[in-house]
Amino acid sequence: MSDTKDMDRQQRINAYWNENNRLIISLLVIWFAVAYIPPLFINQLNQIRIVGFPLGYYFGSQFSLAVFVVLIFYYAYAMNKLDSKYHLKDK
């Protein structure tokens, strides 16, 4: 899909939207995995300690939060690229 200039307007809009949706879904999968999978294995994870932090506790209190921040900035970055690819930059 590198050559977007040959597409007509509607095709560009649809392709842009589909790519956006794929991106959203893959980021939401990461979001879900980070937030909801570690709590299921909390007792096993807490057996492991890193500089005093039980791993399960660490996931809940710091790691997941940091991943959330990264996900949002990555989305902003990826969407800016997508906007230029489909010539949909605003202003």
Partner 1 sequence: MAANEAIKLRNNRLAQYYGMFTVGLIVISLIMGALELVAGMPQAWIGWTFLMLTMGMYAFIGIMSRTKALDEYYVAGRNVPAIFNGMATGADWMSAASFISMAGTLYALGYDGLAYIMGWTGGYVLLALLFAPYIRKFGQYTIPDFVGTRYGGRWPRLVAAVSAIIVSLTYVTAQVVGVGIIMSRFIGVPYEWGVVIGLSGVLVCSFLGGMKAVTWTQVAQYIILIIAYLIPVTFLSLKLTGFPIPQFSYGVALQNITRLEGELKISSEAPARDGTGRVIQQGYVPAYNEGLSNAPAVTAVGQINSYFGTRFTPPAVQSIPNTTKPAEEIQPDWRGTPWNFLALTFCLMVGTAGLPHILIRFYTVPSVRESRMSVGWALVFIFLLYFTAPAYAAFARWEILQNVVGKEISSLPVWTQNWSKLGLITQRDYRTLEGRDIAKLPAWAAPQVTSGALVITDANGNGKIDVAGATFSESEVDGKKIGTFGELSGTAITKNSTDGILQFGELNIDADTIVLATPEIAGLPYTVAALIAAGGLAAALSTADGLLVVISSAIAHDFYFRIINPKASLNTRIWLGKSMLIVAAVIAALLALPRLALIAQMVAWAFSMAAASFFPVVLLGIFWKRCNGPGAIAGMVGGLSVTIFYMASNYLNPSFNVLGITHLASGIFGLPVNFLLCYIVSKLTAAPSQEVQDLVDHLRNPQLDDDLMTELAGTKGKVAAGAH
- Out of 1, 5, 81, 90, the residue judged to bind partner 1 by CB under 8 A: 90
Give the chain's radius of gyration (CA, Å): 19
The rounded distance, in Å, linking the Cα atoms of 53 and 36 is 19
| Residue in the structure block whose two tokens are 């949706």 | 21
- Out of 15, 19, 83, 85, the residue judged to bind partner 1 by CB under 8 A: 83
Query: At residue 87, what is the residue type?
Result: H
CB of 9 vs partner 1, minimal distance in Å: 6
3-state helix, strand, coil in the chain (%, to 5): 75, 5, 20
Three-state DSSP state, 37: coil
Nearest CB to partner 1, comparing residues 2 and 87: 87
Residue 29 binds to partner 1 (criterion: CB under 8 A): no
Site residues (vs partner 1, CB under 8 A): 9, 13, 16-17, 20-21, 24, 27-28, 31, 35-36, 39-40, 42-43, 46, 49-54, 56-57, 60-62, 64-66, 68-69, 71-73, 75-76, 79-80, 83, 87-91
